[in-house]
């Protein structure tokens, strides 16, 4: 990793993103090779059937993947691309996006993210994503 990134610094980066503030995202875990981002469910984030909107799931996957990749590549990274598979409707109190690095080179990291809804009845995986994070000069 080109520079040491702490949880506190990673939180500052997240807080500097206006869209992340609008969504209410928070970084609850960050260490070399992994990151965990959470979003509390509220009415403004639901779709017409009362489930957490797929765009919120996609946002959380994108950011968690990028933070995980940045944990091994350094702070100057962007998402090169990602795919997401929605498994079931997202119902619960909190979305937890749990990303980890699968493999990396000096300039790219392949990362995976499990999107888990946490509620009164426990945890349930509702989607999974995989993406490539790219170091930028």
**Residue range 48-76, pLDDT digits in tens:** 999 999 999 999 999 999 999 999 999 99
State yes or no: pLDDT of 1 exceeds 70. no
3 pLDDT band, cuts 50/70/90, is: low
% the chain with pLDDT above 90 = 94
Which two structure tokens, joined as six digits, stand for 40? 């509390």
Q: How many CB atoms lie within 10 A of CB 3?
A: 10
% the chain with pLDDT above 70 = 98
pLDDT at 26: 97
State yes or no: pLDDT of 103 exceeds 60. yes
Which two structure tokens, joined as six digits, stand for 5? 């990134």
Cβ(105)–Cβ(57) below 8 Å: no
Rounded CA separation 113/98 (Å): 5
pLDDT at 137: 81
């Amino acid at each position: 990793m080109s520079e040491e990134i702490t949880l506190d610094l990673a939180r500052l980066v997240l807080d500097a993103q206006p869209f992340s503030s609008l969504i209410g995202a928070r970084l609850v875990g960050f260490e070399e090779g992994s990151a965990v981002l959470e979003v509390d469910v509220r009415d403004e984030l639901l779709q017409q059937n009362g489930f957490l909107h797929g765009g919120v799931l996609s946002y959380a996957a994108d950011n968690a993947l990028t933070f995980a990749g940045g944990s091994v590549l350094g702070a100057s990274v962007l998402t090169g691309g990602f795919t997401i598979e929605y498994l079931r409707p997202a119902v619960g109190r909190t979305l937890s996006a749990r990303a980890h690095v699968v493999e990396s080179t000096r300039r790219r990291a392949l990362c995976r993210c499990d999107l888990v809804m946490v509620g009164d009845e426990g945890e349930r995986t509702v989607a999974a994503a995989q993406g490539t994070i790219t170091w930028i000069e």
